Amino acid sequence: MIGIICLAAVGFLACVDKKPSTDEKLDTQELTKNQEEVHGIEIKPGEIQLTHPLNAQWVTEGKGIYELKCQACHKLTNEKLVGPGWSGVTQRRKPEWIMNMITNVDMMLETNADAQKLLEECLVRMPNQNLTKEEARKVLEFQRNNDGDK
Amino acid sequence: MNISFKKTLLYLGLITVNVSLLYSCKPRGAASAVSGDAASKVYVAPGKYDEFYDIVSGGFNGQIGIYGIPSGRLFRIVPVFSQSPESGYGFSEETKPMLNTSHGFVPWDDLHHIALSVTDGVHDGRWAFANGNNTPRLARIDLSTFRTSEILEIPNSAGNHSSPFITQNSEYIVAGTRFSVPLDNDNGDVPINTYKQNFRGTVSFVSINPQSGEMSIAFQIKTPGVNFDLARAGKGKSHGWFFFSCYNSEKANTLLEVNASAKDKDFIMAVNWKKAEEYVKAGKATKESVKYAHNIYNEKTHSATSTLMNEVLVLDPKDCPGMLYFIPCPKSPHGCDTDPTGEYIVGSGKLAAIIPVFSFTKIQEAIASKTFDGEYDGIPVIKYEAALYGEVLKPGLGPLHTEFDDNGNAYTSFFVSSEIVKWNVKDLKVLDRVPTYYSIGHLSIPGGPTRKPWGKYVIAYNKITKDRYLPTGPELTQSAQLYDISGDKMKLLLDFPTTGEPHYGEVIPASILFKKQRKIYKIEENEHPYAAKGEGQARVERKGKDVHVYMTAIRSHFNPDNIEGVKMGDVVYFHVTNLEQDWDVPHGFAVKGSNNAEILVMPGETQTLKWIPDRVGITPIYCTDFCSALHQEMQGYVRVSPASSNVGLSFSTGKTVPADTTKSVSYNQPRK
């Protein structure tokens, strides 16, 4: 069907005596490129400094974010619910891996082998829960606390 | 009609011939209705975007359809005055108040016209306004969410047709009554044939809050008992004036087809609304006690409230000289359109053989020099010739509406001769005409009613489609047609089907709306009293016979998804909070046997489905919107026990006890 339309269009273009006017056309495609992204800036290795002792305020705030946006799928034990349990996650993964997974999940699922393996196991794409980088950092601090870091 | 139908059939024949000619690369026939490059002009490749949004009334479906131009693709149906089982609008507890009126819950209306908000006479892309024709109402749709934010009932009105038309800085939208009737505070129990003594009209000016967009009735003007049809605000030099077409100056109360068409001329009513504002300020308005509903949707609480209002300010023209004038206009005027400069007002008499074009400057001179032709119910009637700029001669049959391009041209729709006629506003010469298939009503040009038309296309909203589409039983599709107006000659590009009756639409560049689309509701900002902000807050509470389920939804489970202890005689409220915070991930929720629709919950939002169990047993619940690979697993059960049962209230998700933060969750006891 589309093929026919295309052929017809080609036929039209070849046959019409006057070419379609080249009116200045609004390039709506450009607009998609300029979409505001509140997430999606990749966090590079070494960018996140882990410090001791833990930032107690971040732990508390990270717990609040966890309860609001993460708890539906992640337990604090090592038991898998929808996603893997969080116990030991800060030992298994690099800080930037965890934070990219939170703020930049589409990129991770496209490029990171470990993330792709998790998708195969869990079958649910981890939702982008629209956390800022700062909020993701607080969740990481809460995870460190959950793993017994001091 | 018959003749024009044959004529259009002839055109159809020509199209077929023409298409085959094109295929064989031979010269085209002279009377081609579709030009050769039409397909490429409307083809929007997969994944590409349209250049314009067309925001189109759904007529008697009470909704608004959102289409892309030039493709004619339908993107969304926005429920406004009608319940929508798809979204739960008007079914959920939160949205039911939107459809409240002084008559109670009215779940349907007849939505005719769209007015997009403007700043300095140019589309600003904030709101769309729409009128409910049947139970007089106005609605505001937020163009960042494409959802209905507000509905205001209009008292002292009986059919809000002449509405919502907007002033150049969105100061006001108007509401003119299509029926005159005894007004709300008059004794309405009168013989219908006392029309002339007892029936009155009104036009309302509804102010728009420049920040919030909130509507409120600033004042109403009582008028003679005519039928108001359409209207347009003045702009530029005529800013401060409003022009309403009206018919039935005969004041007939039966067989209007004949009895309201007796006079040669009816009227366009010119309202000096700046003057009206002064009279209101000077205390000339009477406070009338009336009843009307004002419904507002709050995006923080995700709930609507309906307030019954009881007062309105009414101006009587008797006390307000210089506020109203009548301008004679031939034969039952319908459209009443002001050009982009605001100088010209085009009247379209449905039964007239000419189109009169009035001059704002001449109207002002006539008023100053009192060049009147008597009075109509005490209101001065300006002499026709004194207001007239000129007439478009022999334009066609049955002129209805006029819009304007960015080059000083006007485009008028002709219902009877089923065509669009292009003419020059300055010299009033007809420049071009194209057939429509069939019987066009309104037409729209992007920005056509504003000070800055974007031009490029004209869209015909047709009343009859006859043979244009595959037939579907007795009821055929509604339809619109797209024409290219970038050249001297108008060219038909596309037919596209529409929902409901597409009375009128406004077309706005995609670039204005594209970037401001809301993607999610922030869960942190959710102030719904029954929100469960996180699974730790998921729970079930009993308050007497009412059972409140604070339920969360995220890919792909509900919490709780097992509920026991509901009993016959209970009323269950499922308050579903969507915990997702990503674009385009709504979750649906449905309950078997519920006398209700589904609810469709946007990310971060809470919506409530009310359910009254009607039998003992296990009732399934599930997510209706395919959300993930495990969407089909997103389900649960409610156990309903007899009223006398001692099954305790319990709820859970998952077989095992989650970690420490879930103390409010209790778990099923083993079944007895």
CB B91 within 8 A of CB B596: yes
pTM given for the model: 0.88
CB proximity list for B83: less than 8 A, separation 6 or greater: B89, B90, B91, B99, B107, B108, B597
Cα angle B532-B535-B536, degrees, rounded to a multiple of 5 = 90
Residue A24 has a pLDDT of: 53
Interchain pair A68, B487: CB under 8 A: no
Which residue, B567, B583, B563, is CA-closest to B517? Answer: B583
The two three-digit tokens of residue B386, written as one number = 């004194």
Residue B51 has a pLDDT of: 97
Residue A11 has a pLDDT of: 36
Residues of A in contact with B23 (CB under 8 A): 8, 11
As a dihedral over the C-alpha atoms of residue B282, residue B285, residue B291, residue B295, rounded to 10 degrees, the angle is -40
The average pLDDT across B564-593 equals: 97
The two three-digit tokens of residue B121, written as one number = 């006479």
pLDDT at B98 over 80: yes
Radius of gyration of chain A (CA): 23
Interchain pair A72, B535: CB under 8 A: yes
What is the DSSP annotation of B603-636?
TT-EEEEEE---SSEEEEEE--S--STTGGG-EE
The model's confidence at residue B660, banded by pLDDT at 50, 70 and 90, is very low
Interchain pair A28, B659: CB under 8 A: no
pLDDT at A5 over 50: no
**Which residue on chain B is closest to A7 by alpha carbon?**
B23
* Residue B658 placed within a domain: no
Residue A23 has a pLDDT of: 53
Residue B630 has a pLDDT of: 87
* Residue B186 placed within a domain: no
What is the DSSP annotation of A20-82?
PP------HHHHHHT---SS-PPPPTT-SPP-SS--HHHHHHHHHHIIIIITTTB-SSS-BSS
Interchain pair B49, A21: CB under 8 A: no
The average pLDDT across B565-594 equals: 97
Which of B37, B511, B552 lies at the smallest CB-CB distance from A12? B37
**Interface ipTM > 0.90:** no
Interface of A with B (CB under 8 A): 5, 8-9, 11-16, 20-21, 23, 25-26, 28-29, 31-32, 34-36, 63, 67-69, 71-73, 75-77, 79, 81-82, 123-125, 127-131
Largest CA distance in chain A: 79
Interchain pair A31, B40: CB under 8 A: no
* pLDDT digit string, tens, across residues B336-371: 999 999 999 999 988 888 999 999 999 999 999 999
Residue B315 has a pLDDT of: 98
Residue B24 has a pLDDT of: 37
CB B109 within 8 A of CB B82: yes
* Residue B442 placed within a domain: no
Q: Determine what percent of chain B is predicted with pLDDT higher than 70.
A: 92
Which of A11, A34, A72 lies at the smallest CB-CB distance from B554? A72
Instruction: Identify which has the larger pLDDT, A26 or A104.
Output: A104
Residue B435 has a pLDDT of: 97
Which of B48, B554, B659 lies at the smallest CB-CB distance from A77? B659
DSSP code of B99? G
Spans of all domains in chain A:
56-146
Q: Return the CATH number at B553.
A: 2.60.40.420
* pLDDT digit string, tens, across residues A56-96: 999 999 999 999 999 999 999 999 989 999 999 999 999 99
The model's confidence at residue B262, banded by pLDDT at 50, 70 and 90, is confident
Which of B556, B557, B581 lies at the smallest CB-CB distance from A130? B581
Instruction: Identify which has the larger pLDDT, B274 or B331.
Output: B274
Which residue, B213, B84, B167, B190, is CA-closest to B500? Answer: B84
Residue bearing tokens 């930032």? A55
Beta bridge partners of B478: B498
Q: Which CATH class is domain A56-146?
A: mainly alpha
Residue B499 has a pLDDT of: 93
Interchain pair A128, B582: CB under 8 A: yes
* Residue B607 placed within a domain: yes
pLDDT at A9 over 90: no
Question: Which residue in B19, B26, B535 has the most chain A C-beta atoms within 10 A of its own C-beta, making it the best mutation to test that interface?
Answer: B535
As a dihedral over the C-alpha atoms of residue B35, residue B38, residue B40, residue B46, rounded to 10 degrees, the angle is -160
The model's confidence at residue A27, banded by pLDDT at 50, 70 and 90, is low
10 Å CB burial of residue B19 (0-12, 13-18, 19+) is middle
The two three-digit tokens of residue B621, written as one number = 């619940």
Which residue, B266, B236, B487, B200, is CA-closest to B360? Answer: B236
The model's confidence at residue B6, banded by pLDDT at 50, 70 and 90, is very low
Domain that holds residue B553: 526-652
**Which residue on chain B is closest to A128 by alpha carbon?**
B582
pLDDT at A124 over 90: no
What is the DSSP annotation of B454-508?
--SEEEEEES--TTSS--BTBSPPEEEEEEE-SSSS-EEEEEEEESS----EEEE
Which of B511, B581, B656 lies at the smallest CB-CB distance from A128? B581
Which of A5, A21, A34 lies at the smallest CB-CB distance from B486? A21
The two three-digit tokens of residue B105, written as one number = 């819950």
* C-alpha span between B474 and B231 (Å, rounded): 34
Residues of B in contact with A35 (CB under 8 A): 515
